């Protein structure tokens, strides 16, 4: 039974919905949600960027390759990921911190290290 849960969890494809709107629009949305004027729907974006260029920086080709590497190789630490990717650990830590702040990667404590875990298999982008 545990194996079934493991495999079904691995096979489940998670799509992360990303919204792009101006800072003012995002702020107004938050106010409308807090005041009850707007009810968040299941299909609404969970992550917001203020421009396509800021999204492009976070999801650059290099960073998408890194996300695929984390997903497929499942490194147990940032130092192991640095070794696998050939990137410097300090730069990698900074990149992972940014990705984590947007909810793209979760940093899970594992023994005395942090294990990066990808939070989505693909992305869906909504521009407002």
- Give residue limits of the domains in the chain: 14-127
3-state helix vs strand vs coil in the chain, percent to 5: 50, 20, 30
| pLDDT of 11 over the 70 cut | no
**What integer pLDDT is reported at residue 12 of this predicted model?**
63
**pTM for the model:** 0.80
| pLDDT of 8 over the 90 cut | no
**Separation CA 110–CA 22 (nearest Å):** 38
Report the CATH number of the 14-127 domain. Answer: 1.10.10.10
**Separation CA 15–CA 27 (nearest Å):** 24
**What integer pLDDT is reported at residue 65 of this predicted model?**
95
The pLDDT tens digits for 26-84 are 999 999 999 999 999 999 999 999 999 999 999 999 999 999 999 999 999 999 999 99
Contacts 24+ apart (CB under 8 A), 76-81: 76/110, 76/113, 76/115, 77/110, 77/113, 77/114, 77/115, 78/113, 78/114, 78/116, 79/113, 81/116
The pLDDT tens digits for 109-120 are 988 999 999 999
**What integer pLDDT is reported at residue 4 of this predicted model?**
40
């Amino acid at each position: 039974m545990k194996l079934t849960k493991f495999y079904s969890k691995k096979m489940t494809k998670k799509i992360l919905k990303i919204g792009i709107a101006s800072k003012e629009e995002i702020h107004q949305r938050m106010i409308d949600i807090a005041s009850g004027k707007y009810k968040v729907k299941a299909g609404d974006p969970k992550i917001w960027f203020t421009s396509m260029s800021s999204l492009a920086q976070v999801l650059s080709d290099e960073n998408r390759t890194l996300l695929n590497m984390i997903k497929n190789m499942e490194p147990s630490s940032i130092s192991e990921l640095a070794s696998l990717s050939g990137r410097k650990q300090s730069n990698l830590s900074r990149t992972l911190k940014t990705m984590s702040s947007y909810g793209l990667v979760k940093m899970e404590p594992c023994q005395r290290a942090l294990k990066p875990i990808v939070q989505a298999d693909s992305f869906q982008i909504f521009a407002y």
